[in-house]
Structure 1
């Protein structure tokens, strides 16, 4: 029987969840014995297989039209979608932007910061994604598994991926979400 295919991507976040995935250390060798690790930010393949994957993992919230496209593509190409980390599950730190207008947020980021030079301006190009309100993944596409944490502990990620690799939906109960 073929190993289940796993793909991942990150959206609006810090990439800490993928760093926590790498923190499973030598257990990553155990994981690749169970799964075919496909497109990820840490591999050369950057999009989930056109013929689909078993498990799709998204980290980060959705804060622009490009993130929406990535989430919809991942959802359409995977059987089980995992929201990994607080940004994916709740909107996380990026969702703090929702308390302000987009214009105020962009002005603060590109014009008002102490490190911005005198010619600072908000980038504008038809090639840039259109910013949106920051949303959790489930606000845009259906999610099957939620793994909270900022970032989730490596042991929790390993447990969840091991369960998924063996065809089981992980039961992330209170004891599973606690650090040792």
Structure 2
């Protein structure tokens, strides 16, 4: 049997979901027998590849870079999983939505609170432009599976991934699988 081409992505979030993924500990060795990791913040791969079978997407869509990448991910991935509360609801990153747009956020962060040389970050191609609103993944592209939690526990991650290794969809119901927070 061919290995599953597996990816994980970190967008606007804290990386807690990836830390929880690493809490799979010894089961990661079992997972490695069934998947080929083709893209991840844990691996040093610069370009999202073609023909990805499964991708865990952590984080909300907050800037132009996130927006461009999520479209590429959706186009190149069979099964896209919204991984954690930021991806599912936009969660904490979306708190800036209450501040009347990206300009207000940038002025407050870089000008009002700047201590030595207050200036707005602007470096095309280096500093991605903020979107006016932070949104969850499903507001931009189709999501196949939702894996909530802040972060989802290692047990929940395993329960979501393990059936995929057998070619089955996980059962995402009950408090142990769909509780937020």
Normalising by structure 2, report the TM-score.
0.90
SS in 1 for 2:121: coil
CA contact (8 A) 1:145 1:169 kept: no
Asked if 2 retains the 8 angstrom alpha-carbon contact of 1:34 and 1:166, the reply is no
Residues 9-18 or 119-128, more deviating: 119-128
Q: For structure 1, which runs of at least 5 residues remain unmatched after alignment? A: none
Tell me how far 1:103 sits from its aligned partner: 1.8
Give 2:96's aligned residue.
Answer: 97
Structure 1 residues 120-147: Cα deviation after superposition (integer angstroms, max 9, x where no partner):
2221232232211101000011000000
Match for residue 84 of structure 1? 83
Distance of 1:45 and 1:158 partners within structure 2: 24
1:166 partnered with 2:159 = no
Which stretch has the larger CA shift, 166-175 or 25-34?
166-175
Q: How does 1:55-74 map to 2 (within 5 A)?
A: 55-74=54-73
Aligned twin of 1:140: 140
**SS class of match (1:38):** strand
What is the rounded CA distance, in whole Å, between the counterparts of 1:73 and 1:151 in structure 2? Answer: 25
CA distance in 2, matches of 1:28, 1:98: 37
**CA distance in structure 1 between the partners assigned to 2:165 and 2:63 by the alignment:** 31
How far, CA to CA, are the matches of 1:9 and 1:154 in structure 2? Answer: 17
Cross-structure match for 1:11: 11
Which deviates the most, 119-128 or 92-101? 119-128
Correspondences of 1:25-36 after superposition (within 5 Å): 25-36=25-36
Give aligned pairs, total. Answer: 175
Provide the C-alpha distance between the structure 1 equivalents of 2:105 and 2:163, rounded to a whole number of angstroms. 40
Structure 2: stretches of 5+ with no match in the other structure: none
CA-to-partner distance for each residue in 1:56-113, whole Å, 9 max, x for gaps? 1110000111101110111111110001001100001000111112222112222333
The ranges of structure 1 where at least 4 consecutive aligned residues each deviate by more than 3 angstroms after the TM superposition are none
Q: Say which SS state the counterpart of residue 39 (structure 2) adopts.
A: coil
Residue 121 of structure 2 corresponds to residue 123 of structure 1: yes
Counterpart CA distance in 2 for 1:110 and 1:24 is 38
Distance 1:176 1:46, change over 3 A: farther
Secondary structure of 1:17's partner? helix
Provide TM-score, normalisation by structure 1. Answer: 0.91
Native 8 Å contact 1:7 1:55 kept in 2? yes
Shift of 1:35: 1.5
Shift in Å at residue 36 of structure 1? 1.6
